[in-house]
Structure 1
Amino acid sequence: MKFNPTLSRLKTYEAGKPIELVVREFGIEEKDIIKLASNENPYGASPKVIEGVHENAHKVSIYPDDSMYELKSALSQKFNIFPENLIIGAGSDQVLEFCARAVLGEGDNVLMSKITFAMYEIYALQQGANIVRSSCYRHDLDEFYDLYKKYNPAIIHICTPNNPTGDALDRDYLYQFLEDVTDPLIIVDCAYMEYAAYKDPKKSIDPKDLIGKFPNVIYLGTFSKAYGLGGMRIGYGIAQPRIIQELYKLRPPFNVTTLSLVAAQAALEDEKFVQETIRKNFEQMERYVQFALREGLEFIDSYTNFITYLFPSHLSSRYIAESLLKKGVIVRDLTSYGMNAIRITIGTKEQNDRVFTLFKEVLDGYKK
């Protein structure tokens, strides 16, 4: 059997450990496990979502509306755009894949931050492209511009707020960069934008304004984070119709499920619920900041629903993550990203109470 030779360049994406696996490995009861590794909304989805999914459960045997008319209409109204500006995907990841397949060829360059969402690299390598990374995890757009001039990338990835670090760009700084880079497709991944916009209006990016000013840009959004629909796998891209039309040539039929469409539509109808979960997120994040200050830990100022702790060389992030796992707390070790760090989703008050107690036990035991 012969496989595509590009697969030899790929690593399998590492998702956060599922609760079921921790139950099997460590014999911990499911009720005693706290999963804070995948940046899901710990408050879940709006009650309107649960109600809508329940009411439409009888439709599971019928293919979904492939025009996605109702969801596109709702998103068009939310962002003051046209349905022709939208493509819906099974998570924003699928839209990323469409972009890579639509633009990249063998030997093309793709520019991204030193540390950012792993799927950018994976989708690029699948197309035989080369990866160009900046020297810092932060998006230094002056360096990005120099690399753009040197390598002439076909795609530039900008993740703001950035995953897995949590930092975000000021809108004006981003726009200055975009004004001077008109050739490649620029993917502005805003999976956590609802959080950034709440915390600091200077970080807020309006997709209509973005694509109106910069026709070579696509804005990515998702329902997996602030809207609490990680299990439904639904996201979207917003761009000029010329880009959307090309991406549609790669979209398989019925790529988003009936219940995912129902859930997303219902989620958009309960903005009050979403804003309240975001408020709670930052209220609890302050506790993580104070914990870090008390314990002498370095952290990255976050505009998301997670926080990244950076450890000095004498502390191993892998050991800390594994120690927490054995106590029933699932966090994301960032060793595979080249960072001695862990990323922790901001949980509920009750979850965080327990996390701080167990985390301190791990740190105190390490010091001994």
Structure 2
Amino acid sequence: MIFNTNLNAIATYQAGKPIEEVIRVYGIDAKNIIKLASNENPYGCSPLVSQAICANASKVSLYPDDSMVDLKEALAKKYNLNAEHFIIGAGSDQIIEFCIRAKCQQDSKILMAKTTFAMYEIYAKQSGCQIIKTKSDMHNLKEFKELYRMHHPDIIFLCVPNNPLGECLDFSEVHDFLKEIDKNTLVVLDGAYQEYATYRDVNKAILVDVVQEFENVVYLKTFSKIYGLGGMRLGYGIASEMIMEYLYKIRPPFNVSSLSLLCGIEALKDENFIQKSLEQNAIEMQKYEIFAQENKIKYIESFTNFITFFLENQKCKSSEIAEFLMQNGVIIRDLKSYGLNAIRITIGTLEQNLKVFSLLKEKIS
């Protein structure tokens, strides 16, 4: 049987291992497993969300409101924009797919950082696009500019902050970069971790006005991280009405469930939960930085809810450490698939992080 030949060049995306798999493989009791691999909020979600799910469980038999007007209006109020500037997806990665399918054709060119969110490349290859990457792992806008002038790509992806490394460009740098890009190139600003970045440094904040100033920009956000709704698969894109006209031609009907839409609406109401989550993340992040410094582990200053440890100075490879931690009930992300001897660890709760430090110390000593 012959399939889409573009798929031959694609490696299947490897998500963080689920708790259920660790239970099956290692026989560890679920209550003794800590998942710090997928950058979920370790404090769960707002109580308002949990209450809404229980109160509306009967709605699962009905198709959702395909206009999604209630959530779009809630987002419009949050950002002081018109509802027409928003599109809702099953996670922000679905909006990434919409962008590529709407803008690209066979052999279109897409520019991205060497080490960044894997789904940019996967969706691009599905459409038969050419991938252009910087030499630097992190976002180097000088290299981006050089490659842009050389290749004139159809889409540029900027991950701000960047997953899986954690670094983040200042908005002023992004803004200056956008001024140099022609209007026929779509620029996707992926802000999945923007709440964390803004909390740590206000200079990192992507101002939503950017989509009005630059009609070729799509700004992506998600409910999967700080809002704690990873299991609901809910994200959104913000862009000019001109871009939205084409993205909506790609969006399938009923692509987001009724409960997911409701959870997003309720999550937006609870600013207190968001603030507490940000505060705790900052406190625990500092402990990881201190641990790295004390144990001579190289790391990147992170503007997210995870930290990346580089292990060049350690006697263990990233795969060995990841396996050791998993055997002891701690799931992290091995970055070997990115060609890095590094691990990415979601910042957990105080209790979870103490266990991580203890196990890491045991393994690298």
Above 0.5 in TM-score? yes
- Counterpart CA distance in 2 for 1:24 and 1:94 is 30
1:242 aligns with 2:237: no
SS at match of 1:110: strand
Q: CA deviation at 1:284?
A: 0.4
- Report what 2:50 is aligned to: 50
- Report what 2:135 is aligned to: 135
The amino acid that maps onto 1:6 is: N
- Report what 2:293 is aligned to: 293
Q: CA deviation at 1:91?
A: 0.2
The amino acid that maps onto 1:287 is: K
- Counterpart CA distance in 1 for 2:198 and 2:157 is 20
Q: CA deviation at 1:203?
A: 0.3
The amino acid that maps onto 1:342 is: I
- Report what 1:195 is aligned to: 196
- Counterpart CA distance in 2 for 1:295 and 1:26 is 29
Query: Could you give the per-residue CA deviations for residues 214-251 of structure 1, whole angstroms, max 9, x where no partner exists?
Result: 11000000000000000000000000001011000111
- Report what 1:253 is aligned to: 253
- Report what 2:275 is aligned to: 275
Q: Give the stretch that moved more between structures: 231-240 or 314-323.
A: 314-323
- Report what 1:323 is aligned to: 324
- Counterpart CA distance in 2 for 1:140 and 1:352 is 31
Query: Could you give the per-residue CA deviations for residues 28-51 of structure 1, whole angstroms, max 9, x where no partner exists?
Result: 111111100000000000000000
**Normalised by the size of structure 2, how large is the TM-score?**
0.98
Query: Could you give the per-residue CA deviations for residues 70-106 of structure 1, whole angstroms, max 9, x where no partner exists?
Result: 1001000000111110000000010000011111111
- Report what 1:358 is aligned to: 359
- Counterpart CA distance in 1 for 2:363 and 2:54 is 42
- Report what 1:159 is aligned to: 159
Q: Give the stretch that moved more between structures: 313-322 or 215-224.
A: 313-322
- Counterpart CA distance in 2 for 1:65 and 1:206 is 29
CA RMSD of aligned residues (A): 0.8
Query: Could you give the per-residue CA deviations for residues 8-56 of structure 1, whole angstroms, max 9, x where no partner exists?
Result: 0111000000001001111111111110000000000000000011111
Q: CA deviation at 1:206?
A: 1.8
- Counterpart CA distance in 2 for 1:140 and 1:322 is 32
- Counterpart CA distance in 2 for 1:306 and 1:139 is 17
Q: CA deviation at 1:2?
A: 1.6
- Report what 2:340 is aligned to: 339
1:9 aligns with 2:6: no
- Counterpart CA distance in 2 for 1:112 and 1:315 is 30
- Report what 1:145 is aligned to: 145
- Counterpart CA distance in 2 for 1:193 and 1:324 is 29
- Counterpart CA distance in 2 for 1:121 and 1:332 is 19
- Report what 1:176 is aligned to: 176
Q: CA deviation at 1:282?
A: 0.8
- Counterpart CA distance in 1 for 2:151 and 2:45 is 43
Q: Which residues of 2 match residues 13-52 of structure 1 at below 5 A?
A: 13-52=13-52
SS at match of 1:158: strand
- Report what 1:185 is aligned to: 186
Q: CA deviation at 1:107?
A: 1.0
Contiguous gaps of at least 5 residues in structure 1: none
Contiguous gaps of at least 5 residues in structure 2: none
- Report what 2:263 is aligned to: 263
State the 4+ residue runs in structure 1 displaced beyond 3 angstroms. Answer: none
The amino acid that maps onto 1:89 is: G
- Counterpart CA distance in 2 for 1:63 and 1:312 is 51
Q: CA deviation at 1:315?
A: 3.1
- Counterpart CA distance in 2 for 1:194 and 1:336 is 27
1:348 aligns with 2:359: no
Query: Could you give the per-residue CA deviations for residues 297-318 of structure 1, whole angstroms, max 9, x where no partner exists?
Result: 0111000000000111643111
- Report what 2:79 is aligned to: 79
Q: CA deviation at 1:212?
A: 1.6
Q: CA deviation at 1:349?
A: 0.6
**Normalised by the size of structure 1, how large is the TM-score?**
0.98
SS at match of 2:61: coil
1:113 aligns with 2:116: no
- Counterpart CA distance in 1 for 2:279 and 2:137 is 27
> Would you say how many aligned residue pairs link Structure 1 and Structure 2?
363
The amino acid that maps onto 1:22 is: V
1:65 aligns with 2:65: yes
